[in-house]
Structure 1
């Protein structure tokens, strides 16, 4: 395990975009596998491999920018709301969850619908059906994570915290986005 950790650190240092792409794709794929096996109880024989590959592709191509975007977003939040008190952490969380989360979820649902071959009208209907529930679920998970992240975690490690929680979140997003 220590060798794997060092290898990941070297890849991140040498090729940050590649490391972030692999991480985002792997997290989305793992979330989809968990959704299919534990939530939907498909079993290995009924596992939809193409769906997992699509979710990985979304991770590579759509969520990948989330790494740099979220990292940049955290830097902006630190400039806009400097400090490390509890009140500062709450302010950062409110801005994060009020501005970033709603936009990200809408875009994610639209991209997933397009990848699943939905027409523009079908995609819009699915977004209208799923968006509010996904956003409310987001608000049950992410605010406490982000308050802790903004209060206890140094800026350079915040994205790692988000990626750890993302495995559960990606499972939910995969299940939600792929329900037809």
Structure 2
């Protein structure tokens, strides 16, 4: 395990952009595989859906989250607990709602939905996904901002996001039309 950690640290040092985007794509597609094989066992596996999650993670989620963490660290640079709390508040209240809506919109486009289909999905699922995120992310982000160095924040949040993305995959596909957390 130490060898893997060293190899990853070397990749981060030499190719931070590529490493983080590939990590995001691989972990998001892993979440979809888990969702399809554990939660949605009765339906046939859809490799195109998993590919969409890889593309979404590496081409949309990864770049945005990477830049967001750099921005937050510059904006709230003091190593104080109050700064970490400010980061969580800004992250969850100002960033998360539009970001999650954008992720949902891009996924809808990757699925081939037209503009009306994208709008309908955003209306039906957007705020429910934000509500679920507010239940899931604040505590892990506080840990992230308090204890994880900037270099590894992306890896930490991408790893924590595996469970979140299982939910997101379920929620955004036919088996997830009714939310367990926020019923209609």
TM-score bracket for the superposition, by shorter chain length: 0.7 to 0.9
1:1-180 equivalence runs, <5 A:
1-42=1-42, 46-79=44-77, 82-85=78-81, 87-179=82-174
Tell me the TM-score normalized by structure 1. 0.88
- Between stretches 152-161 and 108-117, larger displacement belongs to 152-161
- Between stretches 8-17 and 29-38, larger displacement belongs to 8-17
How far does residue 178 in structure 1 lie from its aligned partner after superposition? Answer: 2.6
Distance between the aligned counterparts of 1:15 and 1:148, measured in 2?
25
Tell me the TM-score normalized by structure 2. 0.86
User: SS at 1:24's partner residue?
Assistant: helix
Deviation per CA, 1:116-173, whole angstroms, max 9, x where unpaired? Answer: 1111101100111001110000000111112222233334433232122111111112
CA contact (8 A) 1:25 1:57 kept: yes
CA contact (8 A) 2:76 2:83 kept: no
Q: 1:55 to 1:169 in 2, by over 3 A?
A: same
Give 4+ residue runs of structure 1 displaced > 4 Å after superposition: none
How far does residue 10 in structure 1 lie from its aligned partner after superposition? Answer: 1.8
Which structure ranks higher in relative contact order (CA pairs < 8 Å, sequence separation ≥ 6)?
Answer: 1
How far does residue 64 in structure 1 lie from its aligned partner after superposition? Answer: 2.0
Distance between the aligned counterparts of 2:62 and 2:79, measured in 1?
28
RMSD over aligned CA atoms reads 1.8
CA contact (8 A) 1:24 1:59 kept: yes
Deviation per CA, 1:60-100, whole angstroms, max 9, x where unpaired? Answer: 11112034213213313424xx3422x43322211110111
Structure 2 unmatched runs, 5+: 178-184
Q: 1:108 to 1:17 in 2, by over 3 A?
A: same
Structure 1 unmatched runs, 5+: none
